[in-house]
Amino acid sequence: MSSARYEMVVGLEVHVQLKTRTKAFCGCSADFGAAPNVNTCPVCLALPGALPVLNEHAVELATRAALGLGCTVNPISVFARKNYFYPDLPKGYQISQFDQPLATGGSITIGATEKGADIRIGITRVHMEEDAGKSIHDRYPGATAIDLNRSGVPLIEIVSEPDIRSAAGAHAYLRTLKQILQYLDVSDVSMEEGSLRVDANISVRPPGQVKLGTKTEVKNMNSFSAVERALESEFARQCSLLDSGAEVEQQTLLWDGAREVVRPGRTKEGSQDYRYFPEPDLRPLLLDAKWIERARHELPELPDARRKRLALDFGLAVTEVEQLTASPAIAEYFEAVARASGDGKSAYNWVMGEVSAALRASTGGVDAFRVRPADLAQLLNLVRDGTISHTAAKRVFALMAATGKPAAQVAADEGLLQVGDEAMIAGWVDEVLVEHPDEAARYLSGEKKLQGVLVGFVMRKSKGRADPKRVNQLLASRAG
């Protein structure tokens, strides 16, 4: 295969919508899903005479993101105009940052090599900019419909170094980046809702060659796995071009997910000239060094640190903490359960088992889940002290999730409290021995391995309430 003779070199540009109430440069709502052009005003419609004023919270979130990605936040950054015509770009330019971005020089770790060394991907820069509106081409014949609700919504663009060497690596980078941004709570990072978008720059070169090959830019990918497939596809295309003696042409390509191919985009590279220049309607963004330091200080715990801490605090394995920290909400839920119950292992089992299954089956997230960490911890405590059996606990949990009632109450209401009463258990044991005369005879005549089967019958008869320890003791004494 030709591709073995080439190395893939990828850098990603990720646009992330910041979680603000209002737009970057005006007071319009930044909410997703309103009727067309309802969230617009003179500023984001670019009416003659309107001027931008920067949203303070957008600066805070962008700074937090940049710091969380290990970047240096610049005390002076400058907004610039990126000029191009498009009907969903009302001003005819996008306010962005160009040669003096908000932040530069970060990196993130996306995994480890076989030898255990960190795989780090450099972050070239993080800059602030505004979003364009939305063009809808398939609604009316021969016409494009423009909705400017999204026009002016604050974004950051996160540009990686060309440090990624495989499609899987790109996927890992995006997964890690998304996780960090979730922990930082700066964005909803949803590709479906468009709050995270990815463009890829890809080139190929023979292994060992330092010089980068001619790159193409691939756009229009709507999921992380689409990014992976698009990169594989474009890698193969570039390799076969070089193998056939042809050259890679610098261009923008669009991923066609339905047909699983890349195809040329709108324009030839040379005809696009954005004519960047400093935005004269905004003065430079000045950030006080102390303010930046405070923002750094207030950063929440990031996934890496949390994994290390959870593993240490609760004696969990690497794979276990990785599962738990995939989403910050799950990790926080787990930690609350583990701390309240004092049993990290059980908390892990429950959170990754019953809780995850219940969440998958529901539409809401962790925040809306009716079994709060304290309730689950109580359930775990009831199991541990023998008040309810493990079997009963699952039923109790399901009812808690459905009703929102506390564990003890559900168990009592449903009669699932574990029965330790000797007489009652003895009654169930007697009934089981009568109902299963065959097994009973074999057991009583010394076939010890049937004890487990009989315990199972007793548990079923008691609807899980019988304390299995007592059942075992009783059966053993009968056989004795």
Partner 1 sequence: MSLDNYSQLPAAEIVAGVRAGQLSPTAVVQASFDRAREIGAGSDNLNIVLAADADASLAECRRMMEHRDSAADLGLLAGVPVVLKDNIASLGLPTTCGSKILEGYVSPFEATVVTRLRAHGALVVAKTNMDEFAMGSSTENSAYGPTRNPHDVRCVPGGSSGGSAAAVAAGITPIALGSETGGSVRQPAAFCGVVGVKPTYGRVSRYGLVAFASSLDQVGVIGRTVGDAALGLEVIAGFDRMDSTSSDADVPIYRMSALGVPAPEARNPDTEAMRIGRSAVPLPPPAHSKTLDGIVIGKPREYFPESLDASVRDLCERSLDRFRAMGATIRDVSLARSPLAIPVYYIIAPAEASSNLARFDGVRYGLRADSPSGLKGMYEETRSRGFGPEVTRRVLLGTYVLSAGYYDAYYRKAQAVRSLIADDFRSVFASGVSAIFTPTTPTPAFPIGAISDPYEMYLNDIFTVTANLAGVPAISVPIGRVRRLPVGGQIITGHFDEYTMFRVAYALEGALGADAHQ
Partner 2 sequence: MAVTREDVLHIAQLARLGVDAERADELTRELSAILAHMEVLSQVDTGGVAPASGVGAGGTPLRPDVGVAPEMSGTLESFAPSMRDGFFIVPRLATHEDTGES
CA atoms within 13 A on the CB side of 85: 2
Q: Considering only 157-165, 209-217, 275-283, 340-348, which stretch makes contact with partner 1 by CB under 8 A? A: 275-283
Of these partners, partner 1, partner 2, none, which one is at the site of residue 439 (CB under 5 to 8 Å by kind)? none
Q: How far apart are CA 451 and CA 479, in angstroms?
A: 9
Q: Which one-letter DSSP state was computed for residue 52?
A: -
13 closest CA partner among 101, 114, 74, 143:
101
Least CB distance to partner 1 at residue 217 (A)? 17
Of these partners, partner 2, partner 1, none, which one is at the site of residue 93 (CB under 5 to 8 Å by kind)? partner 1
377 closest CA partner among 420, 402, 344:
344
212 closest CA partner among 202, 221, 222:
202
Q: How far apart are CA 382 and CA 368, in angstroms?
A: 24
**Tokens 């479906």 appear where?**
192
- 32 near partner 2 (CB under 8 A): no
Q: Are 330 and 366 in contact (CB under 8 A)?
A: yes
- Tokens coding 167: 């499609």
- 146 near partner 2 (CB under 8 A): yes
- 136 near partner 2 (CB under 8 A): yes
Which 353-412 residues touch partner 2, going by CB under 8 A? none
Which 293-322 residues touch partner 2, going by CB under 8 A? none
Amino acid code (one letter) for 273: D
DSSP three-state, residue 192: coil
- Rank residues 78 and 374 by Cβ distance to partner 1 and give the closer one: 78
185 backbone φψ class: left, alpha, beta (φ>0; ψ -120 to 50)? left
Of these partners, partner 1, partner 2, none, which one is at the site of residue 261 (CB under 5 to 8 Å by kind)? none
Binding mask of the shown chain, residues 84 to 123, with x at each position contacting partner 1 by CB under 8 A: -x-x--xxxx------------------------------
Least CB distance to partner 2 at residue 264 (A)? 9
- 50 near partner 1 (CB under 8 A): yes
Q: Are 426 and 415 in contact (CB under 8 A)?
A: no
- Rank residues 207 and 280 by Cβ distance to partner 1 and give the closer one: 280
- Tokens coding 327: 């989403």
- 306 near partner 1 (CB under 8 A): no
Q: How far apart are CA 455 and CA 433, in angstroms?
A: 11
DSSP three-state, residue 221: strand
Binding mask of the shown chain, residues 213 to 252, with x at each position contacting partner 2 by CB under 8 A: ------xx--------------------------------
Of these partners, partner 2, partner 1, none, which one is at the site of residue 382 (CB under 5 to 8 Å by kind)? none
Q: Which residues pair with 201 in a beta bridge?
A: 11, 217
- Rank residues 271 and 319 by Cβ distance to partner 2 and give the closer one: 271
- 261 near partner 1 (CB under 8 A): no
- Rank residues 288 and 438 by Cβ distance to partner 2 and give the closer one: 288
Complete DSSP assignment for 76-97 = EE-EEEEE---TT-TTSEEEEE
- 185 near partner 2 (CB under 8 A): no
- 78 near partner 1 (CB under 8 A): no
Of these partners, partner 2, partner 1, none, which one is at the site of residue 140 (CB under 5 to 8 Å by kind)? partner 2
Q: How far apart are CA 148 and CA 134, in angstroms?
A: 6
- Rank residues 280 and 446 by Cβ distance to partner 1 and give the closer one: 280
φ and ψ at residue 150, rounded to 5 degrees: -85, -15
- 273 near partner 1 (CB under 8 A): yes
- Rank residues 139 and 283 by Cβ distance to partner 1 and give the closer one: 283
- 52 near partner 1 (CB under 8 A): yes
Least CB distance to partner 2 at residue 343 (A)? 42
Q: Which one-letter DSSP state was computed for residue 352?
A: I
- Tokens coding 70: 């290990």
Binding mask of the shown chain, residues 66 to 105, with x at each position contacting partner 2 by CB under 8 A: ------------xx--x-xxxxxx----x-----------
Least CB distance to partner 2 at residue 94 (A)? 7
Of these partners, partner 2, partner 1, none, which one is at the site of residue 271 (CB under 5 to 8 Å by kind)? partner 2
Q: Considering only 40-48, 299-307, 357-365, 463-471, which stretch makes contact with partner 2 by CB under 8 A? A: 40-48
131 closest CA partner among 99, 94, 86:
94
DSSP three-state, residue 122: strand
Q: Considering only 41-49, 66-74, 189-197, 243-251, which stretch makes contact with partner 1 by CB under 8 A? A: 41-49
Burial class (CB in 10 A: 0-12, 13-18, 19+), 424: middle
- 277 near partner 1 (CB under 8 A): yes
Q: How far apart are CA 332 and CA 438, in angstroms?
A: 52
Q: Which one-letter DSSP state was computed for residue 22?
A: B
Which 121-160 residues touch partner 1, going by CB under 8 A? 144, 146, 148
- Tokens coding 134: 């939305």
Q: CB atoms < 10 A from the CB of 190, how many?
A: 12
**Contacts to partner 2 by CB under 8 A:** 15, 20-22, 26-29, 35-43, 45, 50, 53-59, 78-79, 82, 84-89, 94, 131-132, 135-140, 142-148, 155, 197, 199, 219-220, 254, 265-266, 271, 273, 275, 278, 280, 282-287
